[in-house]
Amino acid sequence: MEILSAFLEHVRQQRRLSDNTVEAYGHDLTSFFGFLEGHLGEEVGIKIFRHLHASDIRAFLARRRRDGLSDASIARLLSAIKTFYHWLDHHHGIENPEIAFLQGPKRGARLPRPVSVAAARDMIETAEAFAEEPWVAARDVAVLTLLYGGGLRISEALNLNGDSVPAPERLRVDGKGQKVRIVPLIPAVRQAMDEYAALCPWRIGKDTPFFYGVRGKRLQPAIVQKNVAVLRGALGLPETATPHALRHAFATHLLAEGADLRAIQTLLGHASLSTTQVYTGVDSERLRAVVAKAHPRA
């Protein structure tokens, strides 16, 4: 559908949303348009959206609820519809106040689930033992060390190119929404990256990937996720011990040691401080101890 293609191109090029977010918008809105065709008994065209009522949207969300969607998924559907209407208003003059005032299900705050300091150490140390080739072992250690020691998302780490050799003290990271940030690398991270680069059998240059798969292509997230799943089983860690949990651990452990929340926001590449503030709920006992120790009136 042309209107959907135009909207997705807008959020991809103008708003610079990630490929995963654009794909989710496309999936959600395709589902919505398909519902409207049956609900209204006519082919979906741009004029339909001017006259939709809140009851039509609620009927769609109710249908998806009966399909078994969770509160989080319902909220995501409504967010996609509202974003689409915002685009319609700005680019086609189609305004629909009823849609703007729709509210989704209230969701309780979901706290990040970081791994412990000991678990992070064990995951990194054990990764070396599970690889069949020394360079793959060094690669796996470097990836996990970078996630935990630098707070990178798995996509950010695997999108690094060979200009990161030798590992710099300050790493340039292309984050979500094409936002660039600078992340300082501690010596342990730089050492792990350099040891991998020295053993890697594939050429690492400015125009090549930094992390390679065994077939000489850029390392894919699924491989890292699979490796971490094996580590979970070997170490007896919970299902929440994922590659992203290492990024959560980076933030949580810094905060627990008294790091400034604004600094952590910058290191993680969060656009809003409110996103970073969720980490304050992870280790409340430790934070109370920090206040008791540091506050002049404690």
Choosing from 63, 113, 244, 286, the catalytic residue is 244
Closest among 100, 99, 101, 104 to 71, alpha carbons compared: 104
Which residues are CB-neighbours of 240 under 8 A, at least 6 positions away?
113, 115
Is 63 known to be catalytic? Answer: no
Bridge partners of 171, per DSSP, are: 183
Tokens of 228: 């971490």
DSSP state of 220: P
Is 247 known to be catalytic? Answer: yes
Choosing from 64, 248, 253, 270, the catalytic residue is 270
Choosing from 25, 148, 212, 279, the catalytic residue is 279
178 close to 16: Cβ distance less than 8 angstroms: yes
Choosing from 25, 139, 148, 153, the catalytic residue is 153
Question: d(Cα 210, Cα 142) in Å, to the nearest integer?
Answer: 11
Query: What is the SS3 assignment for 174?
Result: strand
Choosing from 64, 247, 248, 253, the catalytic residue is 247
Is 92 known to be catalytic? Answer: no
93 backbone φψ class: left, alpha, beta (φ>0; ψ -120 to 50): left
Is 47 known to be catalytic? Answer: no
Is 279 known to be catalytic? Answer: yes
Choosing from 176, 181, 218, 286, the catalytic residue is 176
Residues with active-site annotation: 153, 176, 244, 247, 270, 279
